[in-house]
Structure 1
Amino acid sequence: MKKRAVAIAVLAVFFLVAATFVGAKALYETKSVPKGERHTISEIVPSKAKWEKVVKGDGGFMEGINFDRKGNIWMVSPMSGELLTVKWDKVHQVKKYPGPVGAKFHKDGRLFITDITGVIHAYDPKTGKSETAVSTYKGQPFNGLNDLVFDKDGGLYFTEPMGSSAINPVGRVFYLPANSKEPVLFADKIAYPNGVALSADGNRVYVSEFGKNRVLSVPAKNAPPSPETPFVFGQYEGGIGPDGLAVDTEGNLYIAHFQAGQIVVQDKDGFKYGTIRLPEGAGTFTTNLAFHDGYLYITESSKNEVWRIKVLKKGLVPYGLQ
């Protein structure tokens, strides 16, 4: 029996090493160096595309834009404590919360909402009822929460930035497994973790490190064995830092650059296409973004406006619409 156990253990190690080797080869395989520029923003936005103002809110600080299965826009406002939707070309309050910041739909139709009070709410649009999905980690309350994203299994990544900064990098990212109320720590020691998104293949978690004006890439909780470790995926200049994130089907990452009034676009290897700048007269508080029907939608929170622009790529179908 002992010999059999040893043989099984050896085989397990062999397969693990083999899988890691294959992953390493795919990850670090040499690629041809391009002759000219790798990308231009014209690969993302048609040359004749123009920004269109979708709607303007009355106050607050609109962000956390989402679309439901019927194509309705949902947003939140932490300043005014509102869950919002758009009807008849106007922004309407749906429900009050202490400080809602981010929102994402679950497959079951509920809207999960992060709150600066350290709670994730689960709101049911059909009944109008809301319950607490999670509020503690190992029995201790969270600091204020910010953004969230579901993986393909229904697990939930969410960011906890409050109290952290460039000189106090104590922010954390958590993972809540599907059908669980017990989150696990995913990443820590981050300077204000803001937006969060998953790569197209689901193997990376992108985290906006707002306090250091950069985006981090971290291997996902359920990613296959690989030598890839957390690294800086994108470093930016100007503005303050990256906020909301979105990914298209080709794996390109779209970054709402707060206080810069623009969206930065990078390919799956981190190389930049360029930026999509909001039109003259728009505000610079670009907070969140979402794809819908061939357009990229943006929330600009200083003037409480939603803008959209035609794009050539299709966004990943979020978990809540699958």
Structure 2
Amino acid sequence: MRNVLVLPAVLFGKSLFASEFLHELPARFQTNTSNWAWVSYDSPSVAVIPGSFNRSVFDAPHKSEVSDDGIAQAFAYLNETDFIAYDPRFFDIIGPDAKVEHVQHLAYQSHEAPCYNPTTGNLFFVEWGPPGGVNGTHNWQYMLNTRNNRLQKLQTDPPTYNAHGCVIYGENMYVVTDGYEDKETGQLVKIDPKTWKKKTILNNYYGQTFLGFNDLDIDSDGNFWLTDSKSAYGRDLIDFYYPTNPTVYFVNGTTMRPKPVHITTGNANGIAVARSSSNPNTHTVYISDTGVSEFKPKSLKNPYGNRALFAYDTPHGGVLANPRFLNNPISYFYDGIRASKNGYLFAGAGDGVDVIDPTSGLTLGTIRVGGGENLAVSVAFGEHEMWIVGRGGVWHVGNIKEPLARDW
């Protein structure tokens, strides 16, 4: 039987009126320094909200307009939290000692492409697109020393323009770019983090330019999975119209031969690769579609556009098989996605980072970045910690119970 909060008029920051909405936390989460909430459909006012209510699909649940005072108080408390659980498994993944810290306060524009190097303790990430840079173009990146929180700008040799996604594999960083203006098309580049020497390793599909890469991941065999999106043209980073619809490419890591494996009329955005739970010799690929973002003739968010997360098996040679709709975000849309060591998906979802079960697609909980104008875009993993980058800067989430960093 569910335990209902019945004691003080105010308990752990929540009014008594909110107790019918907010599920009682497990005991070990009631006394820690982070603010937690548990929203469960076992609670009477979650399954049936009293009075009138409404919100946009782009707004977090706590931004719903409600007529009931108790629900309004519950939502006000949700906006003060660090972690919101929607499923009991979220408590086991995050653990009671986890803490969210806003370690770098930066401009309210997109920050992308986080890569964490555990050897040096450095976090590489970028400021992406307008209004920053020179008309949105950036030929520099950020480097954050996570051990002393010192932030600096750096340039690779030669400079990398408009980086958009990054992963570390072996001793190198692999970065995808949008290209810039009419001078350079989208590229996959390799960067040596010791010397910052950059080498372009892919810039065309049999003579066809790429649209402008958005993100990438690398499987355990060293093959690349790249999302080629219309975001660069939509934000005027490049001068040429995209030659095809947004596409996901599989690139053989040995031959560098690219192959399109998925095409959408929406937008190819985040991508994550995990070992298949049924066959450790194969992988599962997760792709987020962000067709909700429309760019021209004017920039807007269309609630009827695609914002779904899809999963595919990869039985051989980069072929995507067994396509399945996995999840539609509770709010906003999924931008950067990463798969943890045990296969859980962590996705930037506006108000925070959603943690998603890779089989059922259920959203297990959200790691929040503080509300207001702050917005979570993408993540990078350490062993039991992670960094979130987005609008508003960089957040560190430490003391996470679940191991996160993959073993490749």
TM-score (norm. length: structure 2): 0.61
SS in 1 for 2:194: coil
Aligned residue in 1 for 2:123:
73
Q: For residues 70-93 of structure 1, what are the alpha-carbon distances to aligned partners after superposition, in whole Å with 9 as ceiling and x for unaligned?
A: 132111222332222113412211
- Mapping of residues 132-211 of structure 1, within 5 Å: 132-162=200-230, 170-189=245-264, 191-201=266-276, 202-211=282-291
Are the structure 2 counterparts of residues 192 and 310 from structure 1 closer, same or farther at C-alpha, using a change threshold of 3 Å? farther
- CA–CA distance in 2 between the matches of 1:143 and 1:295? 34
Q: Does 1:92 align with 2:152?
A: yes
Q: For residues 97-139 of structure 1, what are the alpha-carbon distances to aligned partners after superposition, in whole Å with 9 as ceiling and x for unaligned?
A: 32111011231x2211111121112112233221211110121
SS in 2 for 1:43: helix
Superposed displacement of residue 267, structure 1? 1.6
Percent of aligned positions that are identical: 18
SS in 2 for 1:51: strand
Aligned residue in 2 for 1:249:
341
SS in 2 for 1:311: coil
Q: Give the one of 395, 399, 402 matched to 1:306.
A: 395
Aligned residue in 1 for 2:309:
215
SS in 1 for 2:165: strand
AA at the equivalent of 1:209: D
Are the structure 2 counterparts of residues 249 and 190 from structure 1 closer, same or farther at C-alpha, using a change threshold of 3 Å? farther
- CA–CA distance in 2 between the matches of 1:224 and 1:298? 29
- CA–CA distance in 1 between the matches of 2:169 and 2:117? 10
Superposed displacement of residue 143, structure 1? 0.4
Larger RCO, structures 1/2 (Cα 8 Å, 6+ apart): 1
Q: How many residues align?
A: 276
Q: Does 1:230 align with 2:323?
A: yes
- Mapping of residues 49-60 of structure 1, within 5 Å: 49-57=98-106
More strand by share: 1
Runs (5+) with no aligned partner, structure 1:
1-35
- CA–CA distance in 1 between the matches of 2:383 and 2:165? 22
TM-score (norm. length: structure 1): 0.76
Aligned residue in 2 for 1:129:
197
Q: For residues 255-291 of structure 1, what are the alpha-carbon distances to aligned partners after superposition, in whole Å with 9 as ceiling and x for unaligned?
A: 111xx31122222312425332424356442111122
RMSD between aligned residues: 2.9
Q: Does 1:83 align with 2:141?
A: yes
- CA–CA distance in 1 between the matches of 2:382 and 2:210? 33
Q: For residues 37-58 of structure 1, what are the alpha-carbon distances to aligned partners after superposition, in whole Å with 9 as ceiling and x for unaligned?
A: 9644222222453311233346
Superposed displacement of residue 59, structure 1? 8.0
AA at the equivalent of 1:272: L
Runs (5+) with no aligned partner, structure 2:
1-41, 43-85, 180-185, 235-241, 277-281, 292-305
SS in 2 for 1:293: coil
- CA–CA distance in 2 between the matches of 1:69 and 1:238? 32
Q: Give the conservation status (yes or no) of the 8 Å contact 1:204–1:218.
A: yes
Q: Give the one of 114, 120, 123 matched to 2:176.
A: 114
AA at the equivalent of 1:314: P
AA at the equivalent of 2:174: F
- CA–CA distance in 1 between the matches of 2:172 and 2:370? 37
Superposed displacement of residue 174, structure 1? 0.3
Q: Which moved more, 1:140-149 or 1:116-125?
A: 116-125
Superposed displacement of residue 171, structure 1? 1.4
Q: Does 1:317 align with 2:406?
A: yes
Aligned residue in 2 for 1:13:
none
SS in 1 for 2:338: strand
Q: Which moved more, 1:66-75 or 1:303-312?
A: 303-312
Q: Give the conservation status (yes or no) of the 8 Å contact 1:119–1:132.
A: yes
Q: Give the conservation status (yes or no) of the 8 Å contact 1:66–1:103.
A: yes
